[in-house]
């Protein structure tokens, strides 16, 4: 059955317009990009095949555009559209932080760290430096490590905070394994960072751990 023969309310585009993009499955969102499927398959079925064989979604979209072009149902035009959409999302989040508004939504800050760090093959520790009104001053990747650890030096974080004349900062790092659950080592580093920054009158607002799914806020758990 072709998508045009589906009930109107179940077609991906109509469903998105009626209920919003969050109501769509990964396959339905991908099908919107595809537009049409392989011969004998509709776009949603083709998208499901792509996710089943080359996914899940995160692994599929982390592939370089040149590799995406070789996958069934994609090709150069669709691969470029996917890569471009991901970059637009990253730039949108970056622009929202750079326009001078105070960061009042922890979820937005967590999403920004996820966009910047998710998919990196090694652990990367980064910081978002803020002024007295919690407006973004700069984002820096401070430390890189192996697939399961990164050495963090609180003194260097404090030095960079002073260099930016920051009054506060949010830090984050990724877990390449995909498990975003904060480890005991993460909690220890957070406590040391908070102490070191307090000595130079800089507040640590949060520490996000990025993996699969939503980034985990350590402040939300009372660990900052």
Helix H or strand E encompassing 146: none
- Answer yes or no: are the C-beta atoms of 124 and 173 closer than 8 Å: yes
The pTM (predicted TM-score) of the whole model is: 0.70
Q: How confident is the model over 183-223, as pLDDT tens digits?
A: 999 999 999 999 999 999 999 999 999 998 889 999 999 99
How far apart CA 168 and CA 69 sit, in angstroms, is 43
Q: Are 12 and 30 in contact (CB under 8 A)?
A: no
Q: Which two tokens stand for residue 19?
A: 């209920």
142: which 2 tokens? 């401070």
E strands, the chain, in order: 124-130, 136-144, 168-174, 203-210, 216-217
Q: What is the pLDDT of residues 142-158, one digit of tens each?
A: 999 876 677 899 999 99
Could you tell me what percentage of the chain is helix, strand and coil, using 3-state DSSP and rounding each to the nearest 5? 50, 15, 35
Residues with Cβ within 8 Å of 64's Cβ and at least 6 positions away in sequence, in order, are none
Classify strands 168-174 and 124-130 as parallel, antiparallel or unpaired: antiparallel
Please check whether residue 23 is in contact with residue 16, taking contact to mean a CB–CB distance below 8 angstroms: yes
If you compute the radius of gyration of the chain from its CA atoms, what whole number of angstroms results?
Answer: 20
What are the tokens at 213? 């799914």
Give the pLDDT score at 220: 93
% of the chain with per-residue pLDDT over 90 = 53
Task: Determine the Cα–Cα distance for residues 14 and 181; give it in Å rounded to an integer.
Answer: 36
Q: How far apart are CA 178 and CA 176, in angstroms?
A: 5
Longest dimension (CA), the chain: 66
What string of pLDDT tens digits covers the 224 residues of the chain?
577 778 878 889 999 999 998 898 999 999 988 888 888 888 999 999 999 998 788 788 888 889 999 999 898 998 898 889 888 887 877 776 665 667 777 788 898 899 889 878 899 999 999 999 998 899 999 999 876 677 899 999 999 999 999 999 999 999 998 899 999 999 999 999 999 999 999 999 999 999 988 899 999 999 99
73 vs 43: CA distance, rounded Å: 9
Q: Which fold has domain 102-217?
A: Cytidine Deaminase; domain 2 (3.40.140)
């Amino acid at each position: 059955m072709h998508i045009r023969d589906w009930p109107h309310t179940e077609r991906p585009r109509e469903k998105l317009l009626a209920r919003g993009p969050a109501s769509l499955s990964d396959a339905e969102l991908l099908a919107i990009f595809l537009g049409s499927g392989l011969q004998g398959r509709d776009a949603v079925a083709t998208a499901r095949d792509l996710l089943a064989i080359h996914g899940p979604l995160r692994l599929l979209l982390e592939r370089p555009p040149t590799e995406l072009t070789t996958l069934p149902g994609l090709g150069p035009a669709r691969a470029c559209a996917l890569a471009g959409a991901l970059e637009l999302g990253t730039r949108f989040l970056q622009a929202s932080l750079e326009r001078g508004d105070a960061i009042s939504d922890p979820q937005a800050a967590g999403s920004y760290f996820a966009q910047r760090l998710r998919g990196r093959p090694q652990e990367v520790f980064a910081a978002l430096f803020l002024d007295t009104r919690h407006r973004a001053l700069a984002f820096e990747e401070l430390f890189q490590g192996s697939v399961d650890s990164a050495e963090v030096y609180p003194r260097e974080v404090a030095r960079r905070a002073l260099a930016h004349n920051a009054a506060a900062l949010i830090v984050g790092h990724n877990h390449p394994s995909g498990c975003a659950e904060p480890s005991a080592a993460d909690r220890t580093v957070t406590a040391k960072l908070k102490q070191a920054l307090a000595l130079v009158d800089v507040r640590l607002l949060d520490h996000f751990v990025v993996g699969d799914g939503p980034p985990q806020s350590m402040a939300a758990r009372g660990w900052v």
